[in-house]
Chains A and B, each alone.
Chain A
Amino acid sequence: MARAREPLNFAEQLERLEEIVRRLEGEELDLDAALKLFEEGVERLRQARERLTAAEAQVKQVLADQAGNVRVEDLDG
């Protein structure tokens, strides 16, 4: 499915981040694995923060054309 290749959305990103924190806090990991997780966590944290501060909510309009196809376009105003 095409969606699987999409970058993680915010919810998935945060879920993954929480999972990383839980594993770091709970599991028996060797230092190497812990470091890898930590690095991934820091990167996800950075991305999540960026999405929250840099992004702006988008507003679009959904219409059906005569053939019944769904069309999504920017909403004016």
Chain B
Amino acid sequence: MAEILDLFAGVSPEGAWTVTQVTRRARAVVEAGLAPLWVRGEVSGFKAWQSGHWYFGLRDRTAQLRCVMFQKDNRRLPAPPADGMQVFVFARPTLWEEKGEFRLTVLDLLSTEAGGLWQVAFEKAKAALTKDGLLDPARKRRLPRYPRRIAVVTSPDGAALRDIIAVTTRRWPVAELLVVPTRVQGDGAEGEIRGALALVTRLQGLDLVIIGRGGGSREDLWTFNHERVARAVAALPVPVISAVGHETDVTLCDLVADLRAPTPSAAAEAATPDAAEVLVDLDHLGARLARGLAARSGRVAERLDRGFDRLTGVLERRLERHRQALAGLAGRLDALSPLRILERGYALARDEQGRVLKRVAQFPPALPFRLRVTDGTVAARVMES
């Protein structure tokens, strides 16, 4: 009831209030009478102070409100609002006693621009990355077929890491997963992720990087929309698979990565071949190896055959020459053959026993004999002398 007494006290000069009493009282009245509420208006005179606090006016056609948004509240926002922007603020009406000024302490701020502040900040960062060619599809690198060292940048205790480990272990026993732990959301996550990515660049013999997190709200994913995180991802020396966003929310990190996977499990599948399939490939290679050698030795055998052919060719040619020489000899011999003499019209007489009859005395009357002429034998008999 002391306050009621105070009110009475102010009605006379003797009971005059101090300035501080009035502002304190006014503040109490305002805060008691106006609970935190959503207010809609246009931003004007925006100023971000060194301290990180934001000061701006919120106005409509006829009135204006002073607003402050403290650093602890505005750091969750992707970007400051611009003058002239239509916004919704969730704010606690209060009175700033030092200046006796009525104002709103803004706790949250949404832009009415398409997609809000998030979209504005996203488009701005995306434009900067595009300008530097970091979103060029030609930049995308091919993933290694048989990766060994795979760095995984993610939260050490999230489902994302468990899924990646499970899928990789099942599919690709050759892999060595190097987990680079980092927070993926909340205050300071951006710096931690960039630190993790810097660590990745120092790993030796790395084949591939997976950066990922499980599902989350748009705000949760925001860390991966920071331009500096996206640039760090783009600068990695080996191919990167990003499994950060969702079907509906693509992050800048997804856009600069060499491959975007819808989930951490899908990222691990894209990163690794299936060992069972590679074993089948090995079987095929083994078969080709065997066939290759068989064909090769076949070819060598063929060449040996060709060698034999050449050898027999030489021999045959030599034989042929001999044959011709023999034929010449045969011709000469032929000339001496009795048959050649018969050919010239001579005849050879033989008796029944085959004896050659050379003299008249060998031809008694009526003796049967045979005459060999060039084309056959004629039966003959000696006439009466």
Q: A-side interface residues toward B, CB under 8 Å? A: 3, 9-11, 14, 17-18, 20-21, 24-25, 29-31, 34-35, 38, 41-42, 45, 48-49, 51-53, 55-64, 70, 72, 75
Contacts and interface: CB of A to CB of B under 8 A. Distances in A.
A48 B282 contact: yes
Contacts of B165: 57, 59
Nearest to A45: B286
B106 to A, nearest CB: 38
B274 to A, nearest CB: 10
Given A11-B146, A45-B282, A56 B293 contact: no
Contact of A10 (B146, B168, B293): B146
Nearest to B297: A31
Given A52-B174, A56-B173, A58-B176, A42 B146 contact: no
A61 to B, nearest CB: 5
B148 A30 contact: no
B178 interface: yes
B286 A29 contact: no
Interface string B187-221: 00000000100011011110100000000000000
A29 B169 contact: no
A31 B300 contact: yes
A4 to B, nearest CB: 12
Contact of B285 (A3, A18, A60): A18
Given A11-B148, A45-B286, A64-B199, A52 B180 contact: no
Given A51-B174, A55-B173, A62-B199, A75 B179 contact: yes
Given A53-B275, A60-B177, A63-B181, 18 more contacts: A9-B148, A10-B148, A11-B145, A11-B146, A17-B289, A20-B289, A31-B296, A34-B300, A38-B292, A41-B289, A57-B169, A57-B172, A57-B175, A58-B176, A61-B178, A62-B199, A64-B199, A72-B178
16 contacts: A3-B205, A10-B146, A11-B145, A14-B145, A21-B292, A25-B291, A31-B296, A45-B282, A52-B174, A52-B279, A53-B279, A57-B176, A58-B177, A59-B179, A60-B179, A62-B199
A25 B288 contact: yes
A63 to B, nearest CB: 8
A45 B290 CA distance: 12
A58 B289 contact: no
B174 A10 contact: yes
B179 A62 contact: yes
A14 B180 contact: no
B275 A52 contact: yes
**9 closest Cβ pairs, A-B complex:** A24-B292, A11-B146, A34-B296, A38-B293, A55-B173, A57-B169, A57-B175, A31-B300, A41-B289
Given A29-B296, A38-B293, A57 B180 contact: no
A63 B44 CA distance: 47
Contacts of A3: 204-205
Contacts of A56: 169, 173
Contacts of A52: 173-174, 275, 278-279, 282
Contact of A24 (B144, B204, B293): B293
B168 A57 contact: yes
Nearest to A39: B293
B151 interface: yes
B295 interface: yes
Nearest to A14: B146
Contacts of A57: 165, 168-169, 172-177
A35 B293 contact: yes
Contacts of A72: 178
A21 B288 contact: yes
Contact of A11 (B144, B199, B203, B288): B144
A63 B195 CA distance: 11
A18 B172 CA distance: 20
A15 B176 CA distance: 20
